């Protein structure tokens, strides 16, 4: 086929070819081509497909990023600041006295009363805190102990070397941290580091208690079982956000293996807790050079993703106590049904003193470390 060219070397179009080209150009560029009212099915399908691609390439990646958000737990240089151990262990603590806010059948005695009753005493290698394991008690509750550190803390790395934990029907022992100033709780938060009830054979429980605005339904790196995600204290029967360790992390099984080490790291990035059986304690803890970055996955992880750690936790005292009965340990659905304990909690605690021979803490040491820019 031959083609005719014009003066400038441009091929000539026939009238028919010109009209067809013009109509095509007119259809694609006219105002109606950009007005959805004039679109056909093909153009609508193409437009919707394009919008879908844009959404998929922008919105979906944003959701993935949000779901995978996780704070940076960069390595910190920790230095020892406090040691609680030896014969002077109790010199660093005040004694609480009276009853408990959790409605327990508990009579916390004074320092003088604890020493006279032999409920607290310390040797070079261990400090003992126990429930009175003799005598029937009256309406005041069974004598026991609550001690609170004179020193206060905001952030830090806390190592608890525990040789024996209290257990038995009616007991509610805990090692925890909070601001004990009147009318402050839970504004400055609470950190439950070692806590269990009754026989404690379901494992240690770690928890945070806060005011509103601290949630843990986010990406976490932990081996423990999540029990609740909302740290607001008034939810989940005042449970806070809680994680449970393995069954052998508390109770008789733990004591039979000479206890172990619990560790809690509190920093702006989050609060993490570990449990190590006696035969698995990291060497860097044993030599006094703790390095959380080498400990593996935490037992409980409370990241700062949806919880401003610095605004919810501050000015804490270290608290060690053994409560009896109360809102958790003594609740019938827990005391009778979950742990199969006899009669009613207060009745049992008051009338069966021999049941409390194993209701004592044996604390080998507590060491506290801090790091700059934590």
CB 163 within 8 A of CB 362: yes
Q: How far apart are CA 250 and CA 192, in angstroms?
A: 14
Active-site residue numbers?
Answer: 190, 195
**H/E/C letters for each residue in the chain?**
CCCCECCCCCECCCHHHHHHHHHHHHHHHCHHHHCHHHCCHHHHHHHHHHHHHHHHHHHHHHHHHHHCCCCCCCCCCCEEEEEECCCCHHHHEEECCECCCCCECEEECCHHHHHHCCCEEECCCCEEEECCCCCCCCCCCEEECEEEEEEEECCEEEEEEEEECCCCCCEEEEEEEECCCCCCCCCCCEEEEEECCCCCCCCCEEEEEECCCCECCCCCCECCEECCCECECCCHHHCCEEEECCHHHCCHHHHHCCCEEEEEEEECCEEEEEEEEHHHCCHHHHCCCCCHHHCCCECEEEECCCCCHHHHCCCEEEEEEEEEEHHHHCCHHHHHHHCCCCCCHHHHHHHCHHHHCCCEEEEEEEEEEECCCC
Burial class (CB in 10 A: 0-12, 13-18, 19+), 62: exposed
């Amino acid at each position: 086929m031959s083609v005719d060219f014009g003066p400038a070397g441009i091929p000539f179009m026939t009238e028919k070819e010109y009209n067809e080209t013009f109509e095509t150009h007119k259809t694609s560029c006219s105002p109606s081509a950009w007005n959805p009212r004039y679109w056909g099915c093909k153009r609508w399908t193409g437009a919707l497909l394009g919008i879908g691609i844009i959404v998929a390439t922008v919105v979906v990646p944003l959701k993935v990023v949000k779901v995978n958000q996780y704070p940076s737990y960069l390595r910190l240089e920790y230095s020892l600041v406090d040691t609680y151990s030896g014969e002077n262990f109790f010199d660093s603590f005040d004694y609480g006295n009276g009853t408990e806010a959790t409605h327990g059948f508990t009579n916390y005695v004074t320092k003088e009363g604890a020493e006279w009753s032999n409920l607290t005493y310390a040797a070079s290698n261990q400090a003992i805190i126990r429930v009175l394991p003799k005598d029937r008690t009256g309406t005041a509750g069974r004598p026991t102990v609550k001690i609170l550190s004179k020193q206060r803390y905001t952030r830090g790395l806390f190592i608890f070397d525990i040789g024996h934990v209290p257990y038995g029907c009616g007991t509610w022992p805990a090692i925890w941290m909070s601001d004990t100033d009147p009318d402050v709780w839970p504004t400055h938060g609470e950190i439950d580091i070692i806590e269990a009830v009754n026989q404690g054979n379901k494992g240690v429980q770690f928890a945070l208690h806060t005011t509103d605005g601290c949630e843990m339904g986010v990406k976490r790196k932990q081996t423990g079982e999540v029990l609740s995600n909302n740290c607001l204290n008034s939810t989940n029967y005042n449970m806070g956000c809680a994680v449970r360790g393995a069954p052998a992390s508390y109770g008789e099984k733990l004591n039979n293996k000479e206890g172990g080490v619990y560790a809690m790291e509190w920093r702006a990035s989050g609060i993490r807790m570990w449990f190590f059986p006696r035969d698995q304690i990291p060497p860097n803890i044993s030599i006094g050079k703790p390095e959380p970055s080498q400990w593996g996955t935490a037992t409980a992880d409370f990241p700062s993703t949806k919880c401003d750690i610095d605004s919810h936790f501050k000015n804490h005292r270290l608290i060690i106590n053994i409560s009896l009965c109360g809102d958790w340990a003594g609740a019938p659905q827990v005391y009778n049904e979950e742990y199969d304990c006899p009669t009613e909690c207060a009745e049992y605690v008051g009338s069966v003193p021999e049941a409390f021979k194993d209701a004592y803490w044996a604390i080998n040491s507590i060491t506290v470390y801090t790091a700059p820019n934590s």
